[in-house]
Amino acid sequence: MSRLEEQHQVLQRILAEVRQDLSDPAKLDLRRKLIDFMGNLPAGPEFTLLYDTANETASDLGRQITAAVIKRLGERTAELSYQVGILQSVTKNAEADAQALSLKKIQLVAAAVKDTADAINNARELIGQNRVDEAGPLLQTALDRMMRLAHEITQ
């Protein structure tokens, strides 16, 4: 058997492994085999066709691997974009909730200050009328209201 026939059989065995359903690692392994085959081919015009066939097949496998990787990256990018969109929506809702809570706390403070001021003013009037024993509960109510407010604000 001539050297050309031997090399042709080696290439045929490698090419026989090529199938449509190969995984990327299997394609990469075949590509390495083809590159090794090309590196071990003797020099000479009679081996050019074998070299070209191996080179084209290795290139095709490389393009398939690259296309598969690009597709997976595209899928990951799409998923990442979707997840980022969800996070942005959650963040926006959280910011809106935080603003609403801040407004609620401001309203609570305003109501408590008004209630306390009203209770103090009523207590002053009662004290001015010499009704001190009636002013005490009003002042206690105002103090209790401020204590509740302090608790609500810190929550």
- Nearest residue to 2 via CA among 57, 50, 35: 50
Which structure tokens are listed for 16? 């026989």
Span 107-148, pLDDT tens digits: 877 887 888 888 888 888 888 888 878 878 878 888 887 788
Residue 101 or 41, more confident: 41
Residue 81 predicted with pLDDT over 90: no
CA distance 87 to 16: 49
In terms of C-beta distances under 8 Å and separation of at least 24 residues, what long-range contacts does 41-44 make, across chains too?
41/7, 42/3, 42/7
Span 14-33, pLDDT tens digits: 999 998 898 999 999 999 99
Which structure tokens are listed for 3? 């050297």
pLDDT for position 50:
93
Assign 21 to helix, strand or coil: coil
pLDDT for position 52:
94
The one-letter amino acid at 130: N
Q: What is this structure's pTM?
A: 0.54
Q: How confident is the model at residue 89 (pLDDT cuts 50, 70, 90)?
A: confident
How many helices and strands, by DSSP H and E, does the chain display? 4, 0
pLDDT for position 79:
87
Can you give the residue ranges of every domain in the chain? 3-154
CA distance 68 to 58: 15
